[in-house]
């Protein structure tokens, strides 16, 4: 689990990031989970967006993807959310 200090640091880092994936009306498919897992392994921290056509709220989507990728929800703001997963082999972000 992330502490509030770690969460704050990750939010600061994520504020400069672009959104790299979005959840649409197709929902959260296996392919999306594979792509998110790969991105988390490469970057540790990613920003995603939920489109208005999606059947899930941004919070629901964030929690479902976090559960399926063993990552943590850093924050949910509006339609965007940030996920973090430490890469134990090659850590990028020092908390």
What whole-number distance in Å separates Cα of residue 14 and Cα of residue 19?
A: 10
Determine the pLDDT at residue 36: 98
Distance CA 95, CA 86 (A): 10
Which pLDDT value is given to residue 33?
A: 98
Domain ranges within the chain, ordered by starting residue: 4-84
Within 13 Å and on the Cβ side, how many CA atoms surround 53? 7
Fold of 4-84: Translation Initiation Factor IF3 (3.30.110)
pTM score, two decimals?
0.95
Task: Quote the distance between the C-alpha of residue 80 and its chain's center.
Answer: 9
Distances in whole angstroms, Cα of residue 33 to Cα of each of 16, 19, 80, 94: 23, 16, 17, 25
Could you read off the pLDDT tens digit of each residue along the chain, which spans 95 residues? 899 999 999 999 999 999 999 999 999 999 999 999 999 999 999 999 999 999 999 999 999 999 999 999 999 999 999 999 999 999 999 98
pLDDT computed for residue 76 by the predictor: 98
User: What's the start-to-end Cα distance of the chain, in Å?
Assistant: 12
């Amino acid at each position: 689990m992330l502490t509030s200090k770690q969460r704050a640091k990750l939010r600061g880092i994520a504020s400069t990031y672009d959104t790299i994936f979005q959840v649409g009306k197709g929902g959260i498919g296996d392919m999306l989970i594979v792509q998110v897992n790969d991105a988390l392994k490469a970057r540790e921290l990613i920003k995603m967006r939920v489109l208005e056509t999606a059947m899930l709220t941004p919070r629901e989507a964030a929690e479902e993807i976090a559960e399926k990728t063993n990552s943590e929800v850093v924050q949910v703001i509006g339609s965007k959310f940030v996920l973090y997963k430490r890469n134990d082999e090659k850590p990028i972000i020092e908390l």
